[in-house]
Structure 1
Amino acid sequence: MSSYLNQSVVLATAGYDHTIRIWDVLYTTCLLTIPFTDSQVNAIAINRDKKCLAAAGCSVIKLFDITGEHTDPLIGFEDHAGNIKSIGFQKDSKWLFTAAEDGLLKIWDTRTSKCQRHFGAKGDGAINQAILHPNQAEILYVTSTGHLRTWDLSTNSCIENIAVVPHSLDSISISLDASSLIVSSYLGSVYKWELINYNGSIQSSPQSSFKAQGKYLTRALLSPDGKRISTFSSDTNLRLWDASSFQLTCTLSGHQKWVWDGVFSIDSAFLISVSTDQTARLWELSTGLTLKEYAGHKKGIISVALNDIPCI
């Protein structure tokens, strides 16, 4: 455990108190507090070299240098209407992608802050979450109308459109090797596709699904190795499921209010969760125990980002 925490690990949290906090993962102290005065922070991402953090709020995107003590944004981006729900870096940080309640995906040049292109399907409603495929050439997203779509960046077109459910889909997650994909609904269902046998394409119906326990499902997350699924709920608990059998393997209890977001460590051995109770927790999955708690936010935390990829 200590060897993991002694690596160059960058952990960030953000939420309703209009701040982003960078944490010392081992000692749980806040290393840097970045103000985000425009709105709450809905989503954050750390780039691959661990030097920059991107944050998205209500119609506003900002890029910050997290290597020093300065907290002014390096650059800002404004073109979305309403809450921006997802943000992420291309692997070389040449561009950012964002997805929002206005139903649009956008690609941004990180040097000029210009929107290079955008995509939106008519009648899709809000985009609730978007992720960059590990191949760096596609963005997958889920919508408030229950659709799962794939946007091909090379052709700037939608290459897959699947009506999964007649109500909102709220989260999407893919394994590191892109062999498995899951989406979830706030009503508690998790749907899974195995992509390895279909040349990476998504079939029109999920291969399997299960009903997660909990009152209101906020998110489902697939571990990088594809072996575990973690679900987050309004009932204050996290649950771990075997990704093949869908058997419940562990319930992680400790948060006092809704659990909104989480992230696995790159080796799939640890999980960090954030909650409306204003804390983040680091869990050791082999024992189900909380190893560290990060406290300091003044309001609920709804977004977390982790970069623990070893530096080459």
Structure 2
Amino acid sequence: MHQDSSTSGLPSESLEVTPDRSMIAAAGYQHIRMYDLNSNNPNPVINYDGVSKNITSVGFHEDGRWMYTGGEDCMARIWDLRSRNLQCQRIFQVNAPINCVCLHPNQAELIVGDQSGVIHIWDLKTDQNEQLIPEPEVSINSVHIDPDASYMAAVNSSGNCYVWNLAGGMGDEVTQLIPKTKIPAHNATPFAASLALIPREYIKKALVLVTLDLIDATSLQPFGHLFGGPNV
């Protein structure tokens, strides 16, 4: 297992494996590090320390050509991965620290959630953006689009999950978001940290530290819970 060699001793906030499963990116306080998964080298093969604050989200284009990040410096960035010298290609500036970023399956729109409660849809083709505000001044903790691009969901620090139907978003079409529902995401606490939209048949077993609520994205009905512990 690779260990993050940050001199700060602070843990990485976000981890993501490249689509070809050859490398893993570890992003955290003022750093991005990438490790070769096919070697026993514990040192990063790419090391970037030029970000001023915490990086909270990292992910990759499906072909691995570029990487995206979001951070507490209020910026989402696109990074060119075609060389070993990590280069920032594009920057999207918002007005509050960024908690989460996800890439639309069309590979052309980034969804950015910030601490002021705004969800930004950044069109990478036109550099235009739109905004959604489910609850003003309630931090967006996590946002996700299902692999078929049928739904988008976001969960905030009040513990509410918002779901939208998606239309368009292919070719030159701009993605249209149609409000579907609002779901209390967690009964035990008002805080919900993360969510994912995944095919129901993939939910087999999990090792978790807290409760997971399972909600059917089509019927919007709960169908189970996963509780922390090795016997889930």
Short-chain TM bin: 0.7 to 0.9
Change (3 A) 1:178 1:34: same
Post-superposition offset of 1:88? 0.7
Deviations 1:236-268 (A, max 9, x none): 21111111232221111234xxxxxxxxxxxxx
2:32 touches 2:49 (CA, 8 Å); kept in 1?
yes
Q: Which amino acid aligns with 2:179?
A: P
Change (3 A) 1:225 1:161: farther
2:215 touches 2:222 (CA, 8 Å); kept in 1?
yes
Find the aligned partners of 2:157 and 2:220 in 1 and give their Cα distance: 18
1:227 touches 1:244 (CA, 8 Å); kept in 2?
no
Structure 2 residues not aligned, in runs of 5+: none
SS of corresponding position for 2:144: strand
Find the aligned partners of 1:153 and 1:114 in 2 and give their Cα distance: 17
- Return the TM-score normalized by structure 2: 0.85
Deviations 1:199-253 (A, max 9, x none): 66233x722111122212111221157999xxxx98x211111112322211112
| Residue 20 of structure 2: aligned partner | 49
Percent identity over the alignment is 29
- What does 1:99-138 align with in structure 2 at a 5 Å threshold? 99-110=70-81, 111=83, 112-121=85-94, 124-138=95-109
| Residue 38 of structure 2: aligned partner | 67
Q: Does residue 1:195 correspond to 2:130, yes or no? A: no
2:155 touches 2:161 (CA, 8 Å); kept in 1?
yes
Find the aligned partners of 2:148 and 2:200 in 1 and give their Cα distance: 8
Aligned residues: 218
| Residue 164 of structure 1: aligned partner | 134
Q: Does residue 1:253 correspond to 2:224, yes or no? A: no
Q: Does residue 1:98 correspond to 2:62, yes or no? A: no
2:4 touches 2:12 (CA, 8 Å); kept in 1?
no
| Residue 34 of structure 1: aligned partner | 3
RMSD: 2.4
Relative contact order, CA 8 A, sep 6+: which one is greater?
1
Deviations 1:86-107 (A, max 9, x none): 0011122221110001110111
Change (3 A) 1:156 1:143: same
Q: Which amino acid aligns with 2:196?
A: L
Q: Which amino acid aligns with 1:36?
A: S
Q: Which amino acid aligns with 1:116?
A: Q
| Residue 220 of structure 1: aligned partner | 195
Structure 1 residues not aligned, in runs of 5+: 1-31, 256-280, 282-288, 291-312
Q: Which amino acid aligns with 2:2?
A: T
Find the aligned partners of 2:176 and 2:50 in 1 and give their Cα distance: 31
Find the aligned partners of 1:136 and 1:95 in 2 and give their Cα distance: 11
Find the aligned partners of 1:117 and 1:197 in 2 and give their Cα distance: 24
Q: Which amino acid aligns with 2:217?
A: A
Change (3 A) 1:46 1:88: same
